[in-house]
Amino acid sequence: VDSVLEIQNQAKQQLQRAAMAAAAADVLLPSKRQKNNPSCLGTLPVLPATATADCWRCATDDPKDDTSDPRFLPYRWIILNDAFQSGTRLLLVNTSTGRFLHRELPLLRDYYVITTTLTGFFILADRSPPHAARVFNPLTGGTIPFTVPVPPEVNVAGSICFDFTLPLLTLLCDSSHKLYMARPDQFEVEDHKFPVYSFIRRAVVGGLIGRWWGSAGMADVIGKILGVAESLRAHPLKFFSTDPPELGSADNARCFLMDFGGHLLAIIKGQGLIQVFKCDDENGTLSHVKSIIKHAIFIGHHRCLAVNTDMFPSIEANCIYYTEHLGSSARIWKFNIEDRKVETVSEAVDFAKKDKQFVLVADRPFTIIQLLSSYSINIQDSELALQQIT
């Protein structure tokens, strides 16, 4: 109980500090954030009637003129194979439109690749000290420089938020449990105990940044989620952990947090049990979710994401896809939210553990279910840290 109260109290304090930091800049006006995206970002462009294909660059803004322009920000793009192992030619997929895009990104050779975000950005570090951070948009080629030095840790998660007049970069360091919050010309660093850090990491990586931090009922929501953990007799130090739980372990309950179309979802996976809650961040209430309609959600110990199943025919709607780990292997399972049926996706083992990674062992070409599952359970090491180790 003491651990649960400690997590709740410290998380509440962190939310208050984060909200104050975010409030230092004015929130963008809704009208400024509701411009149309170009076709390369997953939707059709809206051009003036006089514009033609030959002079479209004259009729539209250049995305490199303002790297924070909402029209040119990636929306629901993820990077399936990354620069850490595959050179500079990458595969991106849009989880909303189902579009696949191969991209050659030679700029990555000029920086250390630290991590990628759920929205499709790269977080890079300068090759020369103090290794300042830089956010790279792979769809436009634009970059946003920051003064914050990237910590030389092996596992760094991150996010970039454009809810405010200045972009807000968040870096989370798994070894030291440090949290970096940075605007282009300033930053602050906070140390956290493991359980509180784990909660913050789950929230940030799940897209719960920006406006969520200032929500009136967020602290109450945290308390209710931890109440569910107590009812399941979950270990409070492991409930938000990124360590993969072992199949059959008595304390393997995990909580996954994510922004789902503007709603906060808490997906709690226990022994033979998955519960999906929608959290009202204004009044601090939880309610069971019985349907996510035409979507499916992939959860993993590192990341979780939602996909539009209308655009991915092989993925079943209203289901949660997850992996079960047993020793050095892992298999993909599927949970139907409506009928609560649980079944394996394939008869064979899907992953074999190699060092810290879970490598797909199926025959190529891999299915989209295998690729998205791999994305949820694998996070690559920071090139900066690896360079300093060697």
Q: Yes or no: say if 146 and 184 are a contact pair by the CB < 8 Å rule.
A: yes
Torsion angle of C-alpha atoms 257, 204, 92, 324, degrees rounded to 10: -40
Each residue's pLDDT, cut to its tens digit, for the chain (390 residues) gives: 456 666 666 666 666 666 565 555 444 434 343 344 433 344 333 333 334 444 444 445 555 556 667 677 888 899 987 545 557 888 999 999 999 999 999 999 999 999 999 989 999 999 999 999 999 999 999 999 999 999 999 999 999 988 878 899 999 999 999 999 999 999 999 898 888 888 889 988 998 877 666 666 677 788 888 888 888 888 877 889 888 776 666 567 899 999 998 889 999 998 778 999 998 877 778 899 999 999 999 999 899 999 999 999 999 999 999 998 888 899 999 999 999 999 999 888 999 998 888 989 877 788 999 999 999 999 989 999 998 876
Handedness of CA 101, 86, 245, 347 (dihedral sign): positive
**Cα–Cα distances in angstroms (integers) from residue 207 to residues 55, 118, 211, 306, in the given order:** 37, 7, 11, 11
Q: Edge-to-edge strand order for the sheet containing 111-116? A: 111-116, 122-126, 132-136, 143-149
* Chain mean position to CA 119: 7
Q: What is the pLDDT of residue 363?
A: 74
Q: Cβ contacts of residue 108 below 8 Å, gap of 6+?
A: 83, 88, 122, 124, 136
Q: Comparing C-alpha atoms, which of 68, 91, 39 is closest to residue 164?
A: 68
Q: What is the pLDDT of residue 44?
A: 35
Q: What is the pLDDT of residue 29?
A: 38
Q: Comparing C-alpha atoms, which of 1, 2, 15 is closest to residue 222?
A: 15
CA distance 155 to 110: 20
Q: Edge-to-edge strand order for the sheet containing 100-104? A: 77-81, 89-94, 100-104
Q: What is the pLDDT of residue 93?
A: 94
